[in-house]
Structure 1
Amino acid sequence: MANLSFGGLKLTPPKILSLGFVLLIFAGTLLLCLPAASTGERLDFIDALFMATSATCVTGLAVIDTGTGLSTFGQIVLLVLFQFGGLGFVTMATLITLVLNKRISLKERLLMQESMNQSSMQGIVRLIRRVLIYSLVIQLSGAVLLALRFIEDMPLGQAIYYGVFHSISIFNNAGFDLFGDVHGPFSGLTRYVNDPIVNITSILLIFLGGIGFIVLSDVLDFRRRKRLTLHSKVVLWTSTLLILLGAVVFFWLELNHTLKSLPPGGKILASFLQAVTPRSGGITTIEIPLLRESTQFLMILLMFIGAAPGSTGGGIKVTTFALLLTAVYGRLRGKEETVLFRNRIAKENVYRAITMTLLSLMLIVGATMLLSVTESAEFLTVLFESVSAFGTSGITMGLTPELTTIGKVLVIILMFVGRTGPLTLAYALKPKKSKELYRYPEGNITIG
């Protein structure tokens, strides 16, 4: 991996990306610590750091209610943070460069390649331009639809502001909402559980933000190219199957429980939104603590899988999940190769998927054990919060506002690693690779 020199320091692209997130979080923390950012007493440093990390890492977990605890200035700070965090600060920096009509250097192109998970720099600037255009159009469309619906419940100016804020928040999979100021602290979108406009708009925004900009670009090019890349096929098929399966299982588990009082249309809308939002959306129309434990565990599994690479979402990613399932299925059939859509997958990618999954599991297990010691909560609640933080999902069972200082620090680390990615962080911290001058003899151990 190429090293880039900045101020005499040689840094790899993963290190620069990780450092960029740290600087963005630090700047957001300082702004949220200002008296103008809160409606009451000034935020403590740890609370400001938590909120800035959650926004930059597009998580949505909050130690204070965004609608009642933060002023308009504080809310706008969050909005800027999750816009930069969702699209990536490299993408936003590219936007500034393009607006100023400046030349994009080789260093910047290498950073773009790393931030978009691309294998080469070819066409990377054109892809970034498309990302910016798609994002603007999608978020503007969502803002218009939501504002038109919110006008029925609030003044025009507030409806427009709420439409813009929630469209950007939902598309970037940030999960922050302002309805605590309307319906009570931490109320979320529960009042809109039967509303088709709010639900369908939210589902589409989460889905489009979660499949990744590479897939969006590929789908829009389909009419010209008449084919999709392997990556796009895997993302679209796996995402669709997870949503359908998640909605059906949620409906089945909650039909005679939390969905019992809803009309048929409301049951379907609630099932689909709750199946989509764990993939990193962060907004809910059903109170999560009221769900059955089996349903809560279903959401834990969906949060762990997450969204697609190169998207605004987190988790181990749907491509990793699909690759692991295919590899296991192939081994059970005695196949040496892993094949997806008649394409052989390189063993290096299979090993990468296994490494990513194991690192993620180890991180979640370790964090859950520590949080079980520091927090007074049931185990499933602690596990739910840990996976939500790692998967940058932002769904909570109510533990986040009650976290101890140590608990907040642990969740901050989970959110940061979940957004930057365990492998990216591992690459950023690893020492310089040295060539191996010898090989050890092969040995055999018993498996199973």
Structure 2
Amino acid sequence: MSQPKFSFPTKLSKITPPQILTFGFIVLISIGAVLLSLPMANAPGAHTTFIDALFTATSAVCVTGLVVVDTGTHFSGFGQTVILMLMQIGGLGFMTMATMIALAFRKRISLRERLLLQESLNQTSLEGIVRFIRRVLVYAFVIEAAGAALLAIRWSLVMPLDQAIYMGVFHSVSMFTNAGFDVMGSLHGPFSSFVGHVDDPIVNFVVMMLIFLGGIGFIVLAEVWDYPKQRKLSLHSKVVLSTSGVLFLAGAVLIFIFEFTNSNTLEPLGLSGKLYSSLFQSISPRSGGANTLDIGAMRHATQFLLVLLMFVGASPGSAGGGIKVTTFAILVGAVIAMIRGKQDVVFFKRRLAKDRVHKALTVAIISLAAILLFTMLLSAVEDADILAALFEVTSAFGTTGLSTGLTPTLSTIGKLIIITMMFVGRLGPLTLAFSLAPGEKELYRHPEGKIMIG
């Protein structure tokens, strides 16, 4: 009698890259939650429940920055180091980190692993993917090292050198990966972020540059690095840089106007402090998550503006969340084309394929639907103000980490809602949808019909 064949490898081989990425993030979050719930991860006198450890691990792996306990005062050095490692792995992607280890041991990168790298970095081609990973790692570590050095030098003036170096490394990694975690609570009080450095030009400039460089995506970063030699940028990079610049400047101007007379935010500051704060709060919703002003004290108009900026988020190929600036640009371009009676969306004298517009519309609608649904759920569960609930949910989806103060007060169910939203925001709505229901090839097309619109 013949023995039945072992079919596990066959079934395993049918697992799609989106499914593997989803499972990988779940495993990484689980390991982080277990480590953060250990007694040695807590500061003296502190205790971390498993739900709080799970929340923190999810926030770190998904590079969000929303916290239910203050990182700088609640966790020990071991706990903060675990969070630091989770941010680094989550920000660069666990497949990127695995590839780094494989390259260090001179292991061959298989085709399946290359497909996973392509999916995790949102690349359109397998060509040169391993070479690109090497550049990603070099850029990341060089920028993080430079940021850490500048911050350490600045803080060494007001604290011991070893503490300044640690603070520099932690915040450089956190800001470049757009994670938004900080350990400033040990200096300025729990949940203070960078409020104590509102007038500090060095800290403001370095942190803003780290957020910007981490949020534009590695493709754009590589092209900007090569620009002095190549003297050209791809359409993707042009759209990312131009749209990011417009959103950054427009956001800063509006924040300056809305908060100029607010006695709890900009009014007490000098002109330099007002400018630094406006610029900082404009770039931070791009998935940075740090703040130099009290978000909860801002006017509702400003908070809603931050919601819009968080919804757009960062750029494709970065650690940031949101619908991405390219999606936003395509939607705006499609609206303008429709109003002008044009059939094509054109950027920099280049026409976009119809499938790009359809994908952008799909991402935006799915994302908006998810945010509205989870906002209603969170508002109902926590009996919270609808704008406060919308702010926290959008911050989780955009993996931003800004908060009006609602997150630390959440119930267990409220925490689970935000955990789910952070996970959706980090993976991306389409990747998660494909991992749950892989698409099938369309074998036929239905007859065309017409529906009146407008």
- Scaled to the shorter chain, the TM-score interval is over 0.9
1:30 to 31, 34, 43: 34
- CA distance in 2 between counterparts of 1:341 and 1:444 reads 32
For residues 150 and 358 of structure 1, do their structure 2 counterparts lie closer, same or farther at Cα, with a shift above 3 Å needed? same
1:42, distance to aligned residue in structure 2 (A): 3.5
SS of equivalent residue, structure 2 residue 14: strand
1:153, distance to aligned residue in structure 2 (A): 2.3
- CA distance in 2 between counterparts of 1:8 and 1:299 reads 43
2:46–2:74 Cα contact (<8 Å) kept: no
2:181 to 176, 182, 189: 176
SS of equivalent residue, structure 2 residue 122: coil
- CA distance in 1 between counterparts of 2:231 and 2:441 reads 44
SS of equivalent residue, structure 2 residue 85: helix
**Alignment partner of 1:357 is 2:361:** no
Specify the alignment match of 1:279 in structure 2. Answer: 286
**Alignment partner of 1:366 is 2:373:** yes
SS of equivalent residue, structure 2 residue 182: coil
Specify the alignment match of 1:209 in structure 2. Answer: 214
1:110, distance to aligned residue in structure 2 (A): 1.1
- CA distance in 1 between counterparts of 2:446 and 2:324 reads 34
Matched ranges for 1:219-234 at <5 A: 219-234=224-239
- CA distance in 2 between counterparts of 1:143 and 1:7 reads 45
Q: Which residue identity is paired with 1:36?
A: M
Specify the alignment match of 2:398 in structure 1. Answer: 391
1:439, distance to aligned residue in structure 2 (A): 3.6
TM-score (norm 2): 0.96
Q: Which residue identity is paired with 1:310?
A: G
1:324–1:350 Cα contact (<8 Å) kept: yes
For residues 7 and 298 of structure 1, do their structure 2 counterparts lie closer, same or farther at Cα, with a shift above 3 Å needed? same
- CA distance in 1 between counterparts of 2:442 and 2:328 reads 32
SS of equivalent residue, structure 2 residue 269: coil
Specify the alignment match of 1:187 in structure 2. Answer: 192
Specify the alignment match of 1:327 in structure 2. Answer: 334
1:301, distance to aligned residue in structure 2 (A): 0.4
Long gaps (5+) in structure 1? none
1:10, distance to aligned residue in structure 2 (A): 1.5
1:336, distance to aligned residue in structure 2 (A): 0.8
1:11 to 11, 15, 18: 15
1:358, distance to aligned residue in structure 2 (A): 0.3
- CA distance in 2 between counterparts of 1:27 and 1:313 reads 22
TM-score (norm 1): 0.97
Specify the alignment match of 2:96 in structure 1. Answer: 91
- CA distance in 2 between counterparts of 1:158 and 1:355 reads 47
- CA distance in 1 between counterparts of 2:391 and 2:267 reads 24
2:388–2:404 Cα contact (<8 Å) kept: yes
Matched ranges for 1:127-146 at <5 A: 127-146=132-151
Q: Which residue identity is paired with 1:246?
A: G
Q: Which residue identity is paired with 2:356?
A: N
- CA distance in 2 between counterparts of 1:241 and 1:432 reads 36
Percent identity, aligned pairs only, is 57
Specify the alignment match of 2:249 in structure 1. Answer: 244
2:195–2:293 Cα contact (<8 Å) kept: yes
- CA distance in 1 between counterparts of 2:112 and 2:450 reads 45
Q: Which residue identity is paired with 1:408?
A: K
Specify the alignment match of 2:24 in structure 1. Answer: 20
- CA distance in 1 between counterparts of 2:269 and 2:189 reads 21
2:167–2:183 Cα contact (<8 Å) kept: yes
1:223, distance to aligned residue in structure 2 (A): 2.3
- CA distance in 2 between counterparts of 1:112 and 1:408 reads 31
1:9, distance to aligned residue in structure 2 (A): 4.3
1:433, distance to aligned residue in structure 2 (A): 1.1
Matched ranges for 1:64-83 at <5 A: 64-83=69-88
- CA distance in 1 between counterparts of 2:393 and 2:313 reads 14
1:41, distance to aligned residue in structure 2 (A): 4.2
2:178–2:215 Cα contact (<8 Å) kept: yes
SS of equivalent residue, structure 1 residue 11: coil
2:35–2:82 Cα contact (<8 Å) kept: yes
Select between 110-119 and 45-54 the one with higher mean Cα deviation: 110-119
For residues 18 and 76 of structure 1, do their structure 2 counterparts lie closer, same or farther at Cα, with a shift above 3 Å needed? same
**Runs of 4+ residues over 4 Å off in structure 1:** none
Specify the alignment match of 2:384 in structure 1. Answer: 377
**Alignment partner of 1:444 is 2:453:** no
Long gaps (5+) in structure 2? 1-8
For residues 19 and 204 of structure 1, do their structure 2 counterparts lie closer, same or farther at Cα, with a shift above 3 Å needed? same
1:7, distance to aligned residue in structure 2 (A): 7.3
For residues 33 and 281 of structure 1, do their structure 2 counterparts lie closer, same or farther at Cα, with a shift above 3 Å needed? same
- CA distance in 1 between counterparts of 2:86 and 2:79 reads 11
2:272 to 265, 275, 292: 265
* CA-atom RMSD in angstroms: 1.4
Q: Which residue identity is paired with 2:17?
A: P
SS of equivalent residue, structure 1 residue 284: coil
Deviations 1:112-141 (A, max 9, x none): 111121111111111110110010110001
Deviations 1:52-98 (A, max 9, x none): 00000000000100011111100000000010111111111111111
